[in-house]
Amino acid sequence: MCVELSQALDIIGNLIASLKQYASKLPAMVPLASLPGGIKPTPETVEVYEAAVSRFRSQSGSSVYKKLNDLLIDSLESFEAGKLLGSIQPLLAVLDHLDSMKRDKQVAVSPAEDKRMGEYRAALHKILPGNKPELEGAGRGL
């Protein structure tokens, strides 16, 4: 079975939901000395993330989406290690690749799918560390 764009977006949406859940449980700031290994997601959350990546890999087969597998694996590995930024960057790259494929007419993208891609990109940017409105202006000195 070959994956369609809507199915790929469903899987990316599942990954973003897992990232949101994990990010919501992280404290705003923790001294590295107090938690040198970082805060890792729960094993159950990792299983859900891994299942979504595995589903994508099994469905992408020899389709145009196969080239996204490595990025999703990078995201999974970072997620397992509790590296939020490292989990988000590959997903943003996946969305960039999908935009590129759309421009090169490798995939047909409906207006609804295009809107979803934009929403996913915005959601990932909101999760990014340091993207908190309450921290606006922090680090600029007095």
Q: Does position 88 have pLDDT exceeding 50, yes or no?
A: yes
Which H or E element spans position 18?
Answer: helix 5-24
Using one digit for the tens of pLDDT, what is the confidence trace for 38-84? Answer: 678 889 999 999 999 999 998 887 788 889 999 999 999 999 988 88
Q: Does position 30 have pLDDT exceeding 80, yes or no?
A: no
Q: Calculate the average pLDDT of the chain.
A: 83
3-state secondary structure the chain: CCCCHHHHHHHHHHHHHHHHHHHHCCCCCCCCCCCCCCCCCCHHHHHHHHHHHHHHHHHHCCCHHHHHHHHHHHHHHHHHCCCHHHHHHHHHHHHHHHHHHHHCCCCCCCHHHHHHHHHHHHHHHHHCCCCCHHHCCCCCCC
Contacts of 4 (CB under 8 A, 6+ apart): none
- Of residues 62 and 88, more confidence is placed in 88
Using one digit for the tens of pLDDT, what is the confidence trace for 89-110? Answer: 999 999 999 999 999 999 889 9
pLDDT score recorded for residue 25: 82
pLDDT score recorded for residue 60: 84
What residue ranges do the domains of the chain occupy? Answer: 5-24+40-128
Confidence of residue 139 (pLDDT cuts 50, 70, 90): very low
Cut 0.85: pTM above it: no
Neighbours of 65 (CB within 10 A): 26
